[in-house]
Amino acid sequence: MRTNDAKTRLIPAADIKEAHVPSTSAYNELVAQAEADHDGYWSRLAREFLSWRTPFTQGLDDSQAPFFKWFEDGTLNVSYNCLDRHVESGLGDKTALIFEADDGQVTRINYRALLERTCRLANALKARGVQKGDRVVIYMSMSIEGVVAMQACARIGATHSVVFGGFSAQSLRDRIHDAAAVMVITADEQVRGGKQLPLKAIVDEAIALGGCESVTNVLVYQRSGAAIGWNAARDRWLHEEMQDQPATCEPEWVGAEHPLFVLYTSGSTGKPKGVQHASGGYLLHAALTSQWTFDLKPDDVFWCTADIGWVTGHTYITYGPLALGATEVVFEGVPTYPDAGRFWKMIQDHRVSIFYTAPTAIRSLIKAAESNETVHPRRYDLSSLRILGSVGEPINPAAWEWYHQHVGGGRCPIVDTFWQTETGGHMITPLPGATPLVPGSCTLPFPGIAAAIVDETGNDVPNGQGGILVVKKPWPSMIRTIWGDPERFKSSYFPAELKGFYLAGDGAIRDADTGYFTITGRIDDVLNVSGHRMGTMEIESALVSCTALVAEAAVVGRPDDTTGEAICAFVVLKGARPSGDEARKIATELRNWVAKEIGPIAKPKDIRFGDNLPKTRSGKIMRRLLRSVAKGETVTQDISTLENPAVLEQLAQSN
């Protein structure tokens, strides 16, 4: 468990001119308003931040808890809120996206052009029969077209399911199948780090695996121009589909609860779950948190480095900043190409003022800068920066300090934002003009978010004592259900013993003096590798599906300096336990197998072979023990029940 070293350093809240939330007392006032009238607080903000076609008359409907509804009788359109209303208010010429390609080429698109492109694609989707409520899978890399595809779905009321471009054909197939998608939007290839990687070929492979009969059209954005396979009955070029379509498209006015998107994420058991979000409540929190957490203003240049395949890219690229009419950078490539100074150069070139990235990226860039002065942030002009953000995993105080000093010049506050795919937007985070900062702590709940720490029975634990992170009251951008599995939704997030509170799945502790939250890590079998969520069970299933080789497998996480956690797999082979070169060869084979089954992000860093796995008398794998073995710790647990204690020595050896 991460220690709560919160007392080491308290940095006063930044003195920001005309900050949206300008002081600690302003923050306290908002918290008090929400406490006094939760429904009224959120309803007021929903009226202020969103343009409604039909105003809602009721905020929260908890009559079918935990299936909460917000602003249900109101109607709106998400893409209207992100695009049209800015053009209507005279911001048509304002740059919406500054797209930088992998090779450095820059394309700017203003709000008017982004709206037109969205309308053309929306019309093209309709022309191919996509209707309100249909699911559309988007399997693309970072591009203007990716954002346009999501906005176009929102415009016609189709529910998108974006699948990260690093997932395998099998994972893509499972997601298409689960949502019974009618269309896939993809690109011929993706270009990252100077390399061309397939996308369309993987879509073809996914569909060929079977179970994707619902898909009648595959739209292909031409990114690289590479030769690709073509099925004339199904495949269409995106540019051809769009070229003759009108540049206007009446938005589909949907109810606030209409599902805007489904996004698959890992849980501790079973297959990835399709987290379903609504339209109104989600967009409210996307816009509100973009404004308050980042103090986003009209003149800012905002850059969130996440991929649209993850929730961070949904909320803080496609929806939040655009709902506010902001200017933002969208980046196709990777932080280390052509060298590890890429982020700093882009901040300099585009005069980025708000920069939002993941601790893993920072840690790897620290390493690079320490070994090569030419990519050190001090070699770049980063004076445009005023606010920094962190997301996806705990940021260790050393990385925080480096980020603060070398990227933020000691003057930019860092907002360490804790949230999840399921929460839709920030839950616990500093507000830069209001919250004194503590390195390594995500500080305090966003106003209106009833975050708390409880024990196994749902009772509050005192500050200074760790426990289970919950949210006691519903909030507008919360997950609505798991696509097609309401029972799993209830049992995963609202277990009976927790008094109806939302269970985040993380452990946390509040500092005894400040009340600040520090996230101590997942309390379930979910790993966080480079800020990507992976279920240990998913990786285990992938390993044992290699039936030619594997008899049994157990996967645990172990701390890693760069990626936060690393995947460590313990494997029992069908044949004899291998050693030396043979073990290394099989380990490589198994890594590639997992990459093929799930995607390269799920490849175990470490694979260890044993004659068997340590189990309790009742046959349960002793995971805690394996975690110690993975870390290289001396085993202190009771191993008297182990049938074969010698196996621990075998499993301690890396390959």
| # of chain residues touching ligand WTA (CB under 6 A) | 22
**270 belongs to an annotated ligand binding site:** no
**Which span (307-315, 443-451, 572-580, 624-632) binds ligand WTA, by CB under 6 A?**
307-315
The yes or no reply on residue 393 touching ligand WTA (CB under 6 A) is: yes
**What kind and span of H or E run contains 122?**
helix 111-127
Tell me which residue has its CB nearest to ligand WTA.
Answer: 421
Q: Are the CB atoms for 410 and 404 separated by under 8 Å? A: yes
Residue of the chain from 41, 99, 344, 419 that contacts ligand WTA (CB under 6 A): 419
Q: What character string, x for contact with ligand WTA (CB under 6 A) and - otherwise, covers 108-137? A: ------------------------------
Binder among 126, 273, 533, 615 for ligand WTA (CB under 6 A):
533
Using the rule CB under 6 A, which residue among 147, 442, 468, 470 binds ligand WTA?
442
Contact positions with ligand WTA (CB under 6 A) in 6-65 = none
- Token pair in block for residue 309: 């395949």
Residue from 186, 417, 481, 655 touching ligand WTA (CB under 6 A): that is: 417
Using rule CB under 6 A, residue 166 touches ligand WTA:
no
Separation between Cα atoms, residue 469 and residue 526, nearest integer Å: 15
415 makes contact with ligand WTA (CB under 6 A):
no
Q: Which stretch binds ligand WTA (CB under 6 A): 9-17, 160-168, 291-299, 417-425?
A: 417-425
Q: Does 446 bind ligand WTA (CB under 6 A)?
A: no
Q: Between 353 and 429, name the residue whose CB sits nearer to ligand WTA.
A: 429
Q: What is the DSSP string of 409-471?
A: TTTS-EEEEB--GGG-S-SB---TTT--B-TT--BSBPTT--EEEE-TTS-B--TTS-EEEEE
Rounded-to-integer distance, Cα 437 and Cα 427, Å: 16
Q: How far is the CB of 266 from ligand WTA (least distance, A)?
A: 8
Question: In the set 23, 214, 384, 420, which binds ligand WTA (CB under 6 A)?
Answer: 420
Binders of ligand WTA among 250-269, rule CB under 6 A?
A: 265
Residue 312, interface with ligand WTA (CB under 6 A)? yes
Q: Is 269 known to sit in a ligand binding site?
A: no
Query: Binder to ligand WTA among 72, 174, 178, 416 (CB under 6 A)?
Result: 416
Q: Is 533 annotated as a binding residue?
A: yes
Interface pick for ligand WTA out of 519, 527, 594, 598 (rule CB under 6 A)? 519
572, two tokens: 């029992």
d(CA 475, CA 319) in angstroms, rounded, equals: 18
Q: Is residue 303 classed as helix, strand or coil in its secondary structure?
A: strand
141 appears as a binding residue in the annotation: no
Instruction: Tell which residue, 407, 398, 362, 294, has the closest CA to residue 14.
Output: 294
312 marked as binding residue: yes
Encoding tokens for residue 181? 């998608």
Q: DSSP letter at 538? A: H
Q: Is 157 annotated as a binding residue?
A: no
Query: In angstroms, what is the minimal distance from the CB of 538 to ligand WTA?
Result: 14
State yes or no: residue 528 binds ligand WTA (CB under 6 A): yes
Cβ nearer to ligand WTA, comparing 160 with 533? 533
Establish whether 556 is an annotated binding residue. no
Count Cα atoms within 13 angstroms, Cβ side, for 539.
Answer: 34
Please say whether the beta carbons of 154 and 78 come within 8 A: yes
> In degrees to the nearest 10, what's the CA dihedral of 315, 316, 322, 327?
-170
User: Binding of ligand WTA at residue 421 (CB under 6 A)?
Assistant: yes
CA separation for the pair 328, 355 (Å, rounded) = 10
The answer to the question of residue 418 lying near ligand WTA (CB under 6 A) is yes
Tell me, residue by residue from 319 to 358, as one string, x for binding to ligand WTA by CB under 6 A and - for no binding. ----------------------------------------
The only residue of 307, 506, 540, 597 in contact with ligand WTA, by rule CB under 6 A: 506
Terminal CA-CA length for the chain: 27
The one-character DSSP state at 503 is: E
Listed residue (561, 562, 541) closest to 553, CA to CA: 541
> ω before 338 within 30° of 0 (cis)?
yes
Instruction: Give 204-207 contacts, CB < 8 A, sequence gap 24+.
Output: 204/229, 204/231, 205/169, 206/169, 206/170, 206/172, 206/173, 206/176, 207/173, 207/176
Nearer to ligand WTA, 260 or 375 (CB): 260
> Strand runs (DSSP E) across 83-240, as ranges?
95-100, 106-110, 135-139, 159-162, 183-187, 189-192, 195-198, 217-221, 235-237
The answer to the question of whether 530 is labelled as a binding residue is yes
The answer to the question of residue 151 lying near ligand WTA (CB under 6 A) is: no
Q: Which is nearer to ligand WTA, 504 or 598 (CB)?
A: 504
505 makes contact with ligand WTA (CB under 6 A): yes
In this structure, which amino acid lies at residue 397?
P
Closest CA to 550 of 578, 574, 577, 570: 574
Min dist CB 585 to ligand WTA, Å, is 33
Residue 394 within binding range of ligand WTA, rule CB under 6 A: yes
Binding flag, residue 529, ligand WTA (CB under 6 A): no
CA distances 270 to 252, 543, 623, Å, are 35, 14, 18
Residues of this chain that interact with ligand WTA (CB under 6 A) are: 265, 310-312, 391-394, 416-421, 442, 504-506, 519, 522, 528, 533
Binding residues are 192-195, 312, 392-394, 416-421, 506, 522, 530, 533, 544, 550
Binding residues for CoA are 192-195, 312, 530
Binding residues for Mg(2+) are 544, 550
Binding residues for ATP are 392-394, 416-421, 506, 522, 533
